[in-house]
Amino acid sequence: MFDIVQKESLNPTVQRMVIHAPLIARKAQPGQFVILRADQAGERIPLTVADTDPQAGTVTLIFQIVGATTEKLARLQLGNALADLVGPLGRPTDTEGLKKAVIIGGGVGCAIAYPVAKKLHAQGCKVDSIVGFRTRDLVILRPEFEAVSTRFFLMSDDGSCGRKGLVTDQLRDLLEAGAQYDRAIVIGPLIMMKFVCALTKQYGLPTVVSMNPIMIDGTGMCGGCRLSVGGETRFACVDGPEFDGHLVDFDQAIARAGAFKAYERKRHEACRLMRKEAGADA
């Protein structure tokens, strides 16, 4: 049984859940993900492992409520259990030999970036973290990032917290000032990763991005998570989810990611209406 042992809201649309899953907790590494079902009739969705506690036998998942499945997941309470939880899947983040890295996270992607920053810090790597959000109310994991970062930079679109601007503004300032990094690791919205990669390419900075395309089985058999990387087809679930950002065809990935947006919105709204009719909001 994959019991929920902790649950909290990090902002109005993002929740953190701690799940009892001892086998996964012992093996999962930063960068890897799990596939879960909220209930027996639910669809399979991938979520990156945000943290683990092997001694307690728990894994931490952070997710944004954007569709019907995450809406169902958000309804579960302490003592409830997930129907299924499979993992760890994918390849762990390669941190070997890194002495100085810049970690760039955008929005809920910071939940994926944090465990990477934490691992690098534990290895003695100097970590500059740049995280960006639309506004103050959406900020997550700030204390956690500050604890594992040599330098921490907070950006917001509206200037309500940190510095007003985009993560690329801060990164450009650092690079123009002569900052040297072994690698940039970028995790967030596709459009953000695209523009960060365009910037780091100008400076010859090796850049890794974490891709989370449409995914179904997590074994490479369905082909739903295919990407074009360096002109070749790759599957995020088994070849990734991390890839050389300078080789990813972001335009193709963005087009494919939007293929089911209208359907997702419709299903999410239907799920919310069902909850209200059942009196769950009372």
pLDDT at 35 over 70: yes
Distance CA 213, CA 225 (A): 5
Q: With the CA atoms of 253, 254, 255 and 257 taken in that order, what torsion angle do they form, in degrees rounded to the nearest 10?
A: 80
* pLDDT of 199: 97
Mean pLDDT value of segment 137-161: 95
Mean pLDDT value of segment 14-38: 94
* pLDDT of 267: 58
* pLDDT of 282: 38
Assign 106 a pLDDT band (cuts: 50, 70, 90).
very high
* pLDDT of 114: 94
Distance CA 245, CA 206 (A): 8
123 touches 93 (CB < 8 A): no
Q: Share the mean pLDDT of the chain.
A: 89
* pLDDT of 214: 73
248 beta partners: 229
Can you say whether the dihedral through the CA atoms of 78, 83, 88, 90 is positive or negative? Answer: negative
* pLDDT of 19: 95
* pLDDT of 198: 97
φ/ψ (deg, to 5) at 167: -60, -30
More confident of the two residues 218 and 195 = 195
Mean pLDDT value of segment 57-78: 90
Assign 25 a pLDDT band (cuts: 50, 70, 90).
very high
Q: How confident is the model over 164-177, as pLDDT tens digits?
A: 999 999 999 999 99
The fraction of the chain above a pLDDT of 70, given in percent, is 91
C-alpha 83, offset from chain centre: 22
More confident of the two residues 114 and 261 = 114
More confident of the two residues 214 and 122 = 122
Distance CA 132, CA 157 (A): 8
Mean pLDDT value of segment 200-219: 87
* pLDDT of 276: 59
Q: Which domains does the chain have, with CATH numbers?
A: 2-89 (2.40.30.10), 100-210 (3.40.50.80)
Mean pLDDT value of segment 63-88: 90
The fraction of the chain above a pLDDT of 90, given in percent, is 72
